[in-house]
């Protein structure tokens, strides 16, 4: 079928969301069935308003710059959708002769993708999902574009902060990482540890219940031995009863603005242990950094965009492009098509085999995660103190 193609971005931006867009645009050039390629300006809100950008206006040099442009050039949203909104979208698609719709996003976006597919399939409109989330919590797929860059950022940043803390060992540093219910990014901080760099002493995952007394005992023991400690804690850290350690500041539907977990834990250390402590919160820098963008992540994001475009042109609909891990050493993946019903709001958390005790991860997780960083972290100098002491 011939017609125009629409790309829609949803949810939080990443360092490689525009790489997926690049993959779509390059693939679309290969197919005469596709007329105009549009981008919805501002996510689903832009769809409802018919506010589109015509990518035929984009100069070739700007197209190439997409791969090194953070966030999303067409904008995104977390607009809650009603059933009537999907009906309105169909009307907009018909008005603009759109036959192919690609939704690029995470859990909420894939839920919208599935609902839009149900509304659109009888109209001859193909709807395909492109995975995207730094949280890495989409089900079925081995991993998600966006995560590899966020993992590289947290690992390198924790390595650098750890060097600082161990150089002047006078306090405890709490680093808060993104991850609402899944601890993938928090866990990736373990890759900061190597022969030439320090790493986190404790890793607090949202999948492991937080016990204040146990945490303080561990921190106090570390401080007595080292004079310092580095802790990486998820923003979604939970108590044993499942309640958040710090009450969310604001919540609408799935959109949660968490309280400052790092600041809370640092406060506990100061007040209950009498030890100097500080908190660091990379926040948006952890998902938008192009300097720490993983080359593997960018490449795979582009592949996913291209595969989604190709599938839609072939008449496939109601699917999301996923990644199958063939091997980690050497690293090899295969792209495959997942029924969208298997993905819709199915949150994927860290499995037990990747979690080691209350404050760590297993070697199996490190082997799984390492290839996604797209290469080794920066190495740091070390003194051979044993043989060079005066």
Question: How many Å apart are CA 71 and CA 317, to the nearest integer?
Answer: 26
Sorted by sequence, the CB contacts under 8 Å of residue 3 that are 6+ apart come out as: 33, 34, 35, 97, 98, 99, 100
Q: Which runs of consecutive H residues, i.e. helices, occur in 132-270? A: 147-167, 184-188, 212-226, 261-268
| Cβ-based neighbour number of residue 260 at 10 Å | 16
CB 35 within 8 A of CB 55: no
Instruction: Let me know if 41 is exposed, middle or buried by CB neighbors in 10 A (0-12, 13-18, 19+).
Output: buried
137 classed as catalytic? no
Question: How many Å apart are CA 98 and CA 205, to the nearest integer?
Answer: 43
| Structure tokens, 202 | 């404790």
3-state secondary structure of 132: coil
- What DSSP assignment string belongs to 85-131? HHHHHHHHHHHTTEEEEEEEESHHHHHHHHHHHHHHGGGT-EEEEEE
Marked catalytic residue, from 85, 111, 135, 137: 135
| Structure tokens, 336 | 């495959």
Handedness of CA 115, 118, 120, 125 (dihedral sign): positive
CB 3 within 8 A of CB 126: no
Place of tokens 């005790």: 357
DSSP state of 316: -
Handedness of CA 28, 32, 34, 38 (dihedral sign): positive
3-state secondary structure of 255: strand
Question: How many Å apart are CA 356 and CA 389, to the nearest integer?
Answer: 37
Instruction: Let me know if 209 is exposed, middle or buried by CB neighbors in 10 A (0-12, 13-18, 19+).
Output: middle
Question: How many Å apart are CA 44 and CA 319, to the nearest integer?
Answer: 19
Catalytic sites, residue numbers? 135
């Amino acid at each position: 079928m011939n017609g125009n193609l629409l790309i829609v971005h949803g949810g939080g931006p990443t360092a490689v969301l525009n790489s997926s867009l690049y993959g779509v645009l390059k693939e679309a050039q290969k197919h005469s069935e596709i007329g105009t390629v549009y981008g919805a300006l501002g996510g689903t809100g832009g769809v409802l308003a018919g506010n589109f950008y015509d990518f035929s206006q984009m100069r070739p040099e700007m197209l190439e710059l997409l791969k090194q442009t953070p966030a999303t050039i067409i904008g995104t949203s977390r607009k809650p959708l009603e059933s009537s909104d999907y009906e309105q979208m169909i009307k907009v698609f018909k008005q603009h002769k759109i036959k192919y719709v690609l939704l690029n996003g995470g859990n909420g976006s894939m839920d919208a993708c599935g609902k839009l597919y149900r509304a659109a399939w009888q109209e001859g409109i193909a709807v395909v999902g492109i995975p995207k989330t730094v949280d890495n919590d989409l089900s079925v797929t081995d991993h998600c574009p966006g995560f590899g860059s966020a993992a590289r950022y947290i690992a390198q940043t924790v390595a650098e902060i750890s060097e600082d803390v161990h150089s002047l060992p006078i306090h405890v540093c709490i680093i808060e990482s993104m991850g609402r219910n899944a601890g993938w990014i928090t866990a990736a901080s373990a890759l900061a540890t190597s022969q030439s760099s320090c790493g986190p002493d404790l890793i607090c995952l949202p999948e492991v219940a937080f016990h204040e007394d146990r945490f303080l005992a561990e921190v106090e023991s570390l401080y007595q031995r080292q004079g310092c400690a580095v802790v990486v804690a998820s923003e979604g850290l939970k108590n044993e009863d499942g309640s958040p350690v710090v009450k969310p500041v604001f919540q609408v539907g799935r959109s949660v603005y968490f309280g400052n977990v790092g600041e809370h834990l640092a406060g506990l250390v100061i007040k209950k242990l009498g030890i100097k402590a500080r908190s660091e919160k990379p926040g948006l820098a952890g998902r938008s950094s192009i300097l720490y963008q993983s080359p593997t992540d960018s490449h795979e994001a582009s592949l996913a965009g291209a595969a989604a475009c190709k599938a839609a042109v072939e008449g496939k609909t109601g699917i999301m492009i996923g990644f199958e891990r063939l091997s980690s050493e050497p690293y090899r993946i295969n792209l495959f098509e997942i029924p969208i019903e298997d993905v819709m709001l199915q949150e994927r958390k860290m499995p037990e085999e990747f979690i080691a005790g209350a404050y760590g991860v297993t070697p199996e997780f490190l082997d799984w995660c390492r290839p996604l960083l797209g290469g080794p972290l920066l190495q740091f100098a070390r003194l051979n103190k044993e043989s060079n002491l005066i």
